[in-house]
Chain A
Amino acid sequence: EAQVTQNPRYLITVTGKKLTVTCSQNMNHEYMSWYRQDPGLGLRQIYYSMNVEVTDKGDVPEGYKVSRKEKRNFPLILESPSPNQTSLYFCASSFFGGSSEAFFGQGTRLTVV
């Protein structure tokens, strides 16, 4: 089954404790991206990757890092989480970047206390 898998689905952490949210896709897509979803703001793009070892900032990259060492994986790293990063996070992948439909993961609800 074609899918994008994120882990964990839920995470509560404390300010400053480094964490990684994993994302994996099995569709051989070149393009992957991370979004955060906050009430009333829709989805805002954090980072995206056009291919292995190629990443770029989205609209809200501050406080986040990403890496793309393999085509299928695109982890999101919060080196020092802060409460304003409490949000619902989605990973997505697609064939042709923003010009083709994106497949989304189930989401990761992160709470930073």
Chain B
Amino acid sequence: GESVGLHLPTLSVQEGDNSIINCAYSNSASDYFIWYKQESGKGPQFIIDIRSNMDKRQGQRVTVLLNKTVKHLSLQIAATQPGDSAVYFCATHTGGFKTIFGAGTRLFVKA
């Protein structure tokens, strides 16, 4: 069946460094991709999204890259801060109304 996977369950970075979180998806018909951040005890919160007709989108300190050839998605966080410590999920959408989430990567930021 359709799946979304993250390459690493945990990632540890030094404060001030850039973070890169990766995600692979299986369905080449996926047309919309979202990154969510989940802090402890809270629901997931939208960070940034990208549609399949784009390969890069930038937000405030975050960039999402989409490589449809290899079905790979990444989230880059510039100048990582302690407040960025959380679990990050990628999610894909393929027409219709279903959304498939990956298992999540926990980002630890070392001071």
Q: Do A and B come from one complex?
A: yes
A contact residues vs B (CB 8 Å cutoff) = 4, 31, 33, 35, 40-45, 48, 50, 56, 58-59, 90, 92, 97-99, 101-107
A40-B103, A104-B44 are known contacts. Are A45 and B98 too (CB-CB below 8 A)? yes
- Say how far B25's CB is from chain A's closest CB, in angstroms: 12
A42-B101, A45-B99, A56-B97 are known contacts. Are A99 and B89 too (CB-CB below 8 A)? no
B89 touches A98 (CB 8 A): no
B contact residues vs A (CB 8 Å cutoff) = 4, 9, 31-32, 34, 36, 41-46, 49, 89, 91, 93, 96-104
Chain B, Cβ-Cβ closest to A99: B32
Query: Could you tell me the distance between the alpha carbons of A56 and B97 in the complex, rounded to whole angstroms?
Result: 9
Residue numbers in B under 8 Å from A31 (CB-CB): 97
22 interchain pairs (CB within 8 A)?
A: A31-B97, A35-B101, A40-B9, A42-B89, A42-B101, A43-B91, A56-B97, A58-B98, A90-B44, A92-B43, A98-B93, A99-B31, A99-B93, A102-B46, A102-B99, A104-B44, A105-B43, A106-B41, A106-B43, A107-B41, A107-B42, A107-B43
- Number of A-B residue pairs, CB cutoff 8 Å, is 62
* A contacts with B: majority SS: strand
Residue numbers in A under 8 Å from B102 (CB-CB): 42
Residue numbers in B under 8 Å from A97 (CB-CB): 93, 96-97
Query: Could you tell me the distance between the alpha carbons of A97 and B42 in the complex, rounded to whole angstroms?
Result: 22
